[in-house]
Amino acid sequence: MVYTIKVWIDGGCRGNGTQNATGAAAAVFETEHGDFTWTRLLPSHPPPTSQRAEIDALNLALDQALVLHGELTRRPGLDVKIYSDSRYVVNCMTQWMPRWINNGWRNSAGRSVANRDLLDHSWYLDNELKQRGYVEYLWIPREENEIAHRRCDELLNNPNHWQ
- What is the residue-level pLDDT of the chain in tens, covering all 163 positions? 899 999 999 999 999 989 899 999 999 999 988 999 999 999 999 999 999 999 999 999 999 999 999 888 787 889 999 999 999 999 999 999 999 999 999 998 999 999 999 999 999 999 999 999 999 999 999 999 999 999 999 999 986 654 4
Q: Which residues pair with 80 in a beta bridge?
A: 5, 135
Any domain includes 163: no
Number of folded domains in the chain?
Answer: 1
162 domain-assigned: no
Residue 137 resides in a domain = yes
Output the 3-class SS for 75-90.
CCEEEEEEEECCHHHH
> CATH number of the domain that 57 lies in?
3.30.420.10
Is beta strand 77-84 parallel, antiparallel or unpaired with respect to 133-139? parallel
User: Which residues, in sequence order, are bridge partners of residue 111?
Assistant: none
Q: Is residue 30 part of a domain?
A: yes
Residue 28 inside a domain? The answer is: yes
Question: pTM here?
Answer: 0.94
Asked, for residue 146, whether it belongs to a domain, the answer is: yes
Structural domain boundaries enclosing 19:
2-157
